Structure 1
Amino acid sequence: MNRIFDFSDYGALLALVHNSLYAGALLGLVGGLVGVFVVARDLPFAVHGTSELSFAGGAAALLLGANVVVGSLVGSVLAAVLFGVLGARARDHNSAIGVLMPFGLGLGVLFLSLYEGRAANKFGLLTGQIVAVDDPQLVALAVISVVVVATMLVLWRPLLFASLDPELAAARGVPVRLLSPVFMLVLGLAVAMSVQIVGALLVLALLVTPAAAAVRVSHSPFVVPLLSVAFALVAMVGGTLLALGSSIPISPYVTTVSFAIYLLCRLVARLRRPAERPGEPAPAQVAEVL
């Protein structure tokens, strides 16, 4: 248990991970916002596929001595382009995504096996690192966060409409075909950010679980994103604080907190009256709001 929870030098260690806390807050904001549309558009499988190619790009950069953030971005953008071409809803193309996922993971494993540097760098790409966020990396994460959040704010209303009822949105003049690849690019940027902190294997805990928990307790298009961001922030920052001083990677803490929030939201939903049926808002309701 001392390896899992050891707060004897907590104060001294806290001063060493302020960049990680800032990065966690940025990831919570971005992951919570993007996750709303990942759930609405039924894209968890695409998130996992994007993370595999982001992992391959980061591993290639590590092998070549290049910037790992840039490598992850290249891999994520490549995945976003490929998945965006497949159509508006990745669930119709799961077989194609399933083909690309093991290919990306295989490339990443190959690159890491050829890498002769520190083993912690290899392990961190898969499971995350708590103290590896330096100032240049934090600046890069902040810039990506600004781009993602600004894009989401501009596209929020039409993207929400197109995610819940693409046929009705198209009839109302929403550019549904254009929004799909644009969102996939935004998703690729969010995945590339997340891989740097929580690792490629556990990105779903940040980009899916908080939003999935939020839609269990609310169907409001205004409340769900607020709850999703709040849940993601608690998971990231809380997981980071719990992991501080432990020899265990950060990702198990983040995933555990995120899953606990999801279970709590399911319990709240079960205790409510069946007639309320929280979940995704009906398309007609969204159309009235928009």
Structure 2
Amino acid sequence: MDWNSFLDAVFNFSNYGELLPLFRDSLLAGAILGLLGGLVGTFVMMRDLAFAVHGIAELSFAGAAFALLIGADVIFGSLAGSVLAALLLGVMGVRARDRNSVIGVIMPFGLGLGILFLSLYQGRAANKFGLLTGQIVAVDSAQLSVLAATALLVVAALVAIWRPLTFASADPEIAVARGVPVRGLSLVFMFLLGIAVALSIQVVGALLVLALLITPAAAALQVTAAPKAVVLLSVSFAMVSTVGGITLALGGSIPISPYVTTLSFLIYVLCRAIGAWRRRHGWTVRPA
């Protein structure tokens, strides 16, 4: 492939004006998932669960692949797999060392199951590929409604437990001493995380889900330590990555995930550079 062919595959805006209105639902879905990913990702970073997200994504992939194999709803299969994995991690892996061991067992098992189910699937190859790389450009109004309702429930639940969850995430030992139900909050959050992972897989696929649930929050933490600012920046970065990635993907012929992950990565690199510059010049930001 020559350079011109490469550019044409990645950025081709000849019919962009006609395409953009057709994918309104996809853009709205991307904005919803950006909001969800930015909020959940803040607690993922606080609770050091980046590795757990990847483990949950593997079982979510296995659930989606099994649903594809038997002709069931892929989103439901993805949700079932990720919630099961999240609850297993919540119950079995209370301590960080135990949790990492459990994730190390779950990840290859989930990936192996997913590959097995995809190998047995005799349908369109695009359906297989979409589980790994995302296929949000295919979202219709009915799927958007389900996605919005599910995301709203997750956000509402997260807001309801926000203060005690923040306390339990920042200092679990003191939270226990103060009577905060740390273990119960952990299980609730893992359940919400499982749902968020399953929904995010629709955008970037099982292999690249970290770009929505980790990178935006990690980028925000590079430039500020103020809790409210971290949340706002994390949500903003996630939404720019998803909506911007979908917008760029409409003008190309490759899957959406490279656009989303590249934008997310560039935002992180920029924030890291800003953070390094501020630290070099003695600009420190203390938590509010």
Give the TM interval when normalised to the shorter protein: over 0.9
Aligned partners of 1:130 and 1:249 also within 8 Å: no
In the other structure, the counterpart of 2:277 is 271
Aligned partners of 1:124 and 1:199 also within 8 Å: yes
CA distance, structure 2, for counterparts of residue 77 and residue 187 of structure 1: 8
CA distance, structure 1, for counterparts of residue 90 and residue 276 of structure 2: 36
Tell me how far 1:88 sits from its aligned partner: 4.2
Aligned partners of 1:42 and 1:89 also within 8 Å: no
More helix by share: 2
Aligned partners of 2:203 and 2:242 also within 8 Å: no
In the other structure, the counterpart of 2:34 is 28
Task: Please give the TM-score of this superposition, normalised by the length of structure 1.
Answer: 0.93
The amino acid that maps onto 1:100 is I
Q: Which sections of structure 1, spanning at least 5 residues, go unmatched?
A: 286-290
1:205 aligns with 2:217: no
- Which of 220, 229, 234 is 1:228 aligned to? 234
1:23-65 CA-to-partner distances (Å, cap 9, x unmatched) read 1001000000000000000001100000110111111111111
Tell me how far 1:201 sits from its aligned partner: 0.4
Aligned partners of 1:51 and 1:76 also within 8 Å: yes
CA distance, structure 2, for counterparts of residue 6 and residue 224 of structure 1: 35
Tell me how far 1:130 sits from its aligned partner: 3.9
CA distance, structure 2, for counterparts of residue 161 and residue 276 of structure 1: 26
1:81-116 CA-to-partner distances (Å, cap 9, x unmatched) read 101012445454212211110110111111111111
CA distance, structure 1, for counterparts of residue 118 and residue 13 of structure 2: 33
In the other structure, the counterpart of 2:4 is none
Distance 1:90 1:278, change over 3 A: farther
- Which of 203, 209, 224 is 1:218 aligned to? 224
1:146-187 CA-to-partner distances (Å, cap 9, x unmatched) read 111001100111111111110111122211111111100000
In the other structure, the counterpart of 1:104 is 110
Task: Map 1:1-290; keep pairs closer than 5 Å.
Answer: 1-88=7-94, 90=96, 92-274=98-280, 275-278=282-285, 281=287
Sequence identity, in percent? 67
Q: Tell me which stretches of 4 or more aligned residues in structure 1 moved more than 6 Å.
A: none
Aligned partners of 1:87 and 1:180 also within 8 Å: no
What SS does the aligned partner of 1:131 have?
helix
In the other structure, the counterpart of 1:288 is none
Task: Please give the TM-score of this superposition, normalised by the length of structure 2.
Answer: 0.94
What SS does the aligned partner of 2:137 have?
coil
CA distance, structure 1, for counterparts of residue 129 and residue 154 of structure 2: 27
What SS does the aligned partner of 1:117 have?
coil
1:7-29 CA-to-partner distances (Å, cap 9, x unmatched) read 00001111221111011001000
Q: Which sections of structure 2, spanning at least 5 residues, go unmatched?
A: 1-6
CA distance, structure 2, for counterparts of residue 276 and residue 151 of structure 1: 36
